[in-house]
Chains A and B, each alone.
Chain A
Amino acid sequence: MIRLRQTGFSYLFLLPSFLLTAVLGIYPIGWAIWYMFFDYKGYGTASFVGLDNFDRLLRDTLFWDTVVNTFVYAGGKLLITIPLALVLAVILNRSFRGRSALRAIVFLPTIISSAVMAVVFYMLFNSYNGLLNQYLLKLHLIPERIDWLGPDHAMLTAIMIAVWGAIGNYMLLFLAGLQNIPQDIYESSSLDGASRWQQFWYLTVPMLGPVLQMVIMLAIINSLKGYESIMVLTDGGPIGKTEVMYLYVYKLFFPTPSASFTADQQFGYGSAVGFATAVIVGLVTIVYHLLSRRLNQLQ
């Protein structure tokens, strides 16, 4: 009887989270999986089309371009963000005057809305009256305006903005990891004559192994999913150069209206593309886990 009551209580406590997960997690996934096999515009009747949406997906060169763009964007962001965040964390883990203020400054971009950030960066980077070009021209560092948001540089600009926005967050996670490393290890290695670089490479990095593994995984997922700042900055343009997977999915659900007509929402195909993007993100994460097992064992 007591046991039954205990079990009952356990289920009762589980109920709120289960309901939330069911309504906000399982239901939308089930909805999207269902509609992957339909042609549905959000009004009228949904017609069953079998695997047509996936057939279209395979032929959809626009989508596969966005996959490539996403990898360039995420790869670029990771390659710059992770080392920089780690170095900053190591520096800001030392005690010196103004450390807290510096930590706050580095962390600040994380709490600013990415859309607001993108608007501000648009003012800085746009080539016709952007502040960046004006200063570079005044300092004679460039002969003429650079089109930072043009086809050649838009992706680089988007990556730099993403790095700026993400670095504080990862720095904080690294800092938390660093503070768990016992100081006496450093002291004894100093006695053994280890240099600062040797301490970083042979002590800090291995001791941070599990944290690194988790932070990189979070960074991969966030980078592959990120699209908000790009949407505000370039809306995927010019000529699709910064169109990433999730922005493409968003536009299928909420097409950009034009001066002449409003395209229909494509719930069916959007769901199929959404599913494909989730599979891609999932696969990348699995591959990363397999490859990064050593990081977990370093400690």
Chain B
Amino acid sequence: MRMKKAGLAVSIGLLAFTAACSSGGNTTENSPANNPPEKPVEGTDNKPQETGKKVKLSYWTGDRHDQEYITEVIKSFNASNADNIEVELVVKTDDFNQAIDLAFASGQAPDLIRVKENTIQPWVKKGYLEPIDGFLTDELKAKFPVIPDFNQIEGKIYSLPNYGSTLRLVYNKDLFAKAGVAAPPKTLDELVETAKKLTEAGKAEGAYGFALNFKSTQSAMFRSARVIAEANGDGGFGYDFKTARYDWSSYKPIIEAFKKMVDDGSTMPGMESLDIDPLRAQFAEGKIGMYISFSSEPGVYQNQFPAKIDWAAAPVPTTDGQVHGKTSFTGGQWLAINAQSKNKEAAWKFMQYMYGDDILKTYQEKGFGLSMVPSITASAAKPSINGIEGFMPTENDGTWPLDPTSAIKVEGIMATDAFFKYMLSGGNLDEIVNDLNKRYNDALDQAIAAGEVTAEPDPAFDPMTLK
């Protein structure tokens, strides 16, 4: 009897285990690794015009700031294209990357996917994306810049650039005026001091000086501390391109400043469970003095959360007030074609339409993003959207090379979590940095030994000469 009970308990445990692992199981079963994508595109697909049948395509994106415009664009494509193609737009935000993984695992992936600078590499490795070299004409090749690692991977092009994103300090001008602060902070000390003044001026109405979306520490730190580090000359998310080693000590003054704001009570209560959209909703209501984010914000405050306050964007502060490195102008990719799609030619036709001059120009002019296509930048009018001025690319914006963080397997607590833990509960920051350096460099060494990554020191690396 006892054995039976023990057996029952073990069975139940195993069932629990199954629940945890079953989705992973499906993933492998259907993963492109097991079903390698068929080779290129030319002439291998169904031709919609020959069959006369409606070709239905689905396009998944994580962008919501441009949803209204893209919906219109797609509607117009569906109504006007001569190939009987109908595109369905699916917008997913917070869980976009997981949704893509799950869709590929279950064989229900969309024909076209919005790829970003942080997803194009892993999705190419996973075999999700189709190279588009076979489709590209000389004219298109000349028009769209090739950015190694960001749209061209191992010699093959997977996407084309539309817009790029700059990173800035976003600030509430009304609260600044109320607190008597004339200009956005230029140094980290000023950032701490300004946050304190803004909180003193706004706390009675529930407004606080500073906030970030710390529900995901990575999302929060990599849109804030990361760009301050870049402006300090220390880009690469802790990776030093000069030495080809990780050195997180460059983040110390930034994390100390963030901690000071938490200790001063200048940060929004509940910041630790805040996602980016609830944060934006609070900023639009005037409850947040400053935060740091991408140039998609003007579109957000125009459409998604209409701002009830006067706001602007400014370059992020640095430790000493001087700019020692260019801040990220991220991008280089937009749409990509699913390697498993049965309608690649139709997908390319839609992609070509989306990359048409009119759409790209309007995209910039409506302020959804800052074009990375030289011919569009030259011909499009200045974006007509509030708040975009501060985000316009300057000589201090550039594209940093790809750091190896995505390709290494770090054991234990991630840098962003360790830093946030320090911000909330204190500790010895030197010890935290030493521990991070050791674990990140160990992981880097292992990845180099396994041939998964190369890391060559570049003593002449100059963060002010990035393109």
- Is chain B found bound to chain A in the same assembly? yes
Q: State A240–B421 Cα separation when bound (angstroms).
A: 9
Considering the complex, give the chain A residue whose CB is closest to the CB of B10: A282
What are 8 A-B contacts with C-beta separation under 8 Å? A61-B412, A129-B282, A149-B273, A234-B273, A238-B424, A260-B222, A267-B27, A278-B16
Q: Is B5 an interface residue, CB under 8 A from the partner?
A: yes
Contacting residues, chain A, for B278 (C-beta < 8 A): 126
Q: How far is the CB of B261 from chain A (nearest CB, A)?
A: 16
Considering the complex, give the chain A residue whose CB is closest to the CB of B411: A56
Interface residues of A in 215-229 (CB under 8 A from B): 221, 224-225
Beyond contacts A253-B23, A258-B222, A261-B405: 10 other A-B pairs, Cβ-Cβ < 8 A, are A43-B32, A128-B282, A238-B420, A239-B420, A254-B101, A258-B416, A259-B118, A277-B20, A282-B10, A282-B12
Contacting residues, chain B, for A275 (C-beta < 8 A): 17
Q: Is A83 an interface residue, CB under 8 A from the partner?
A: no
Q: Is A249 an interface residue, CB under 8 A from the partner?
A: yes
Q: State A41–B273 Cα separation when bound (angstroms).
A: 29
Q: Is B79 an interface residue, CB under 8 A from the partner?
A: no
Q: How far is the CB of A116 from chain B (nearest CB, A)?
A: 15
Q: State A267–B33 Cα separation when bound (angstroms).
A: 13
- The answer to whether B270 touches A28 (Cβ under 8 A) is no
Considering the complex, give the chain B residue whose CB is closest to the CB of A238: B272
Q: Is A136 an interface residue, CB under 8 A from the partner?
A: no
Given the known inter-chain contacts A29-B21, A237-B217, please indicate yes or no for A278 contacting B222, CB distance below 8 A: no
Task: Give chain A's interface residues, CB within 8 Å of chain B.
Answer: 24-25, 27-29, 31-32, 35, 40-45, 56, 59-62, 122, 126-130, 145, 147, 149-151, 154, 221, 224-225, 233-235, 237-240, 246, 249-250, 253-254, 256-267, 270-271, 274-275, 277-279, 281-283, 285-286, 289-290
- The answer to whether B412 touches A28 (Cβ under 8 A) is no
Contacting residues, chain B, for A60 (C-beta < 8 A): 411-412
Contacting residues, chain A, for B421 (C-beta < 8 A): 239-240
- The answer to whether B10 touches A260 (Cβ under 8 A) is no
Contacting residues, chain B, for A27 (C-beta < 8 A): 25
Q: How far is the CB of A248 from chain B (nearest CB, A)?
A: 10
- The answer to whether A289 touches B270 (Cβ under 8 A) is no
Interface residues of B in 412-467 (CB under 8 A from A): 412-413, 416-417, 420-421, 424-425
Q: State A290–B1 Cα separation when bound (angstroms).
A: 11
- The answer to whether A31 touches B269 (Cβ under 8 A) is no
Top 9 A-B residue pairs of the complex, sorted by shortest distance between their CB atoms: A282-B13, A258-B218, A278-B17, A238-B272, A127-B270, A285-B9, A149-B273, A32-B21, A260-B222
Contacting residues, chain B, for A277 (C-beta < 8 A): 16-17, 20
Given the known inter-chain contacts A43-B32, A62-B412, A271-B24, please indicate yes or no for A237 contacting B18, CB distance below 8 A: no
Question: When the two chains form the complex, which single residue of B102, B126, B287 contacts A43, counting CB atoms closer than 8 Å?
Answer: B126
- The answer to whether B214 touches A237 (Cβ under 8 A) is yes
- The answer to whether A259 touches B222 (Cβ under 8 A) is yes
Q: How far is the CB of B210 from chain A (nearest CB, A)?
A: 13
Q: Is B394 an interface residue, CB under 8 A from the partner?
A: no
Binary CB contact string for chain B from 377 to 420 against chain A (1 if under 8 A, 0 otherwise):
00000000000000000000000000001110101110011001
Q: State A66–B8 Cα separation when bound (angstroms).
A: 25
The interface centre, meaning the residue of A225, A256, A262 with most chain B CB atoms within 10 A of its CB, is A262
Q: How far is the CB of A226 from chain B (nearest CB, A)?
A: 11
Considering the complex, give the chain A residue whose CB is closest to the CB of B17: A278
- The answer to whether B218 touches A260 (Cβ under 8 A) is yes
- The answer to whether B215 touches A32 (Cβ under 8 A) is no
Q: State A224–B16 Cα separation when bound (angstroms).
A: 10
Q: Is B216 an interface residue, CB under 8 A from the partner?
A: yes
Q: Is B137 an interface residue, CB under 8 A from the partner?
A: no
Contacting residues, chain B, for A43 (C-beta < 8 A): 31-33, 125-127
Q: Is B187 an interface residue, CB under 8 A from the partner?
A: no
Q: Is B14 an interface residue, CB under 8 A from the partner?
A: yes
Q: State A145–B215 Cα separation when bound (angstroms).
A: 19
Given the known inter-chain contacts A128-B269, A256-B216, please indicate yes or no for A282 contacting B206, CB distance below 8 A: no
Q: State A265–B21 Cα separation when bound (angstroms).
A: 13
Q: Is B82 an interface residue, CB under 8 A from the partner?
A: no
Q: State A98–B27 Cα separation when bound (angstroms).
A: 50
Binary CB contact string for chain B from 165 to 191 against chain A (1 if under 8 A, 0 otherwise):
000000000000000000000000000
Q: Is B226 an interface residue, CB under 8 A from the partner?
A: yes
- The answer to whether B20 touches A274 (Cβ under 8 A) is yes
Considering the complex, give the chain A residue whose CB is closest to the CB of B402: A261
Contacting residues, chain A, for B118 (C-beta < 8 A): 257-262
Q: State A234–B278 Cα separation when bound (angstroms).
A: 13
Q: Is B197 an interface residue, CB under 8 A from the partner?
A: no
